[in-house]
C-alpha cells in the first residue's frame, strides 16, 4: 500500500516523512525521524513514556497516528533544551536528584512542561495530578514533585 506523505513541524523545524496508515506518531518519531528521546513503555496509552506535545496539547504519541500529524506542531524532549541551555525543569530535576531512568524521564519532563504551561503556580496536589499519567514503578515521585514545584517557582521569578 502507498505510504502517506506528511509535513509537520517538530521542535520548530519543518519536517516531512512517509508513513504507513497504521504507523503511530511514536514510531514515526523514533524510526523515521530518529528522535529516540521519546520512548515506548506500554504502547497502549497507560504509561506516559511516549508523551509529546501536539499543537500545545499533551498526548501519548503511541495513540496518535503519524498521518494525524499533518500540518501540526510537535514538541519532543529533544526540543526542551535550547542550544546548550537546559530547560529550567531539566536543571531542577538534576538539582533535586529527581531523574529516573531514560524510559520514563523524558515523558515526565514533557508532562511537567505541559502542566506548567497551563498552570504556572500549581499546588503539590495539582503537580501529582498533572503527572498521574506518567508511571514509574521505581520511585515514590516525591523528588519529582519537589523539582517541578521548584521549577515553577523559578519560572514565576520567585
The residues of the shown chain that bind ligand FES, judged by CB under 6 A, are 40-43, 45-50, 60, 62, 100-101, 103-104, 136-139
Task: Output 11 or 43, the one with its CB closest to ligand FES.
Answer: 43
Mode of pairing for the β-strands spanning 13-19 and 4-10: antiparallel
Nearest distance, CB of residue 23 and ligand FES, angstroms: 14
Task: Output 41 or 79, the one with its CB closest to ligand FES.
Answer: 41
In degrees, rounded to 5, the angle at the alpha carbon of residue 65 between the alpha carbons of residues 42 and 77 is 65
Q: Alpha helices of 52-156 — where are they, by DSSP H? A: 88-95, 105-118, 124-130, 142-155
Nearest distance, CB of residue 126 and ligand FES, angstroms: 21
Task: Output 16 or 46, the one with its CB closest to ligand FES.
Answer: 46
Give how far Cα 39 sits from Cα of 2, 30, 47, 105, 126, Å.
Answer: 27, 8, 10, 9, 25
Nearest distance, CB of residue 149 and ligand FES, angstroms: 20
Is 82 strand, coil or helix? strand
Nearest distance, CB of residue 27 and ligand FES, angstroms: 11
Amino acid at each position: 500500500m502507498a505510504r502517506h506523505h506528511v509535513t509537520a513541524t517538530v521542535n520548530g523545524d519543518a519536517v516531512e516523512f512517509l508513513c504507513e496508515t497504521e504507523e503511530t506518531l511514536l514510531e514515526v518519531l523514533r524510526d523515521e525521524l530518529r528522535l529516540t528521546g521519546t520512548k515506548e513503555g506500554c504502547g497502549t496509552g497507560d504509561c506516559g513514556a511516549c508523551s509529546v506535545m501536539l499543537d500545545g496539547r499533551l498526548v501519548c504519541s503511541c495513540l496518535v497516528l503519524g498521518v494525524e500529524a499533518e500540518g501540526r506542531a510537535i514538541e519532543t524532549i529533544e526540543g526542551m533544551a535550547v542550544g546548550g541551555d537546559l530547560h529550567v525543569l531539566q536543571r531542577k530535576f538534576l538539582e533535586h536528584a529527581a531523574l529516573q531512568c531514560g524510559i520514563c524521564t523524558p515523558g515526565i519532563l514533557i508532562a511537567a512542561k505541559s502542566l506548567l504551561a497551563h498552570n504556572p503556580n500549581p499546588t503539590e496536589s495539582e503537580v501529582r495530578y498533572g503527572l498521574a499519567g506518567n508511571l514509574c514503578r521505581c520511585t515514590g515521585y516525591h523528588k519529582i514533585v519537589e523539582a517541578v514545584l521548584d521549577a515553577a517557582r523559578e519560572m514565576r521569578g520567585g
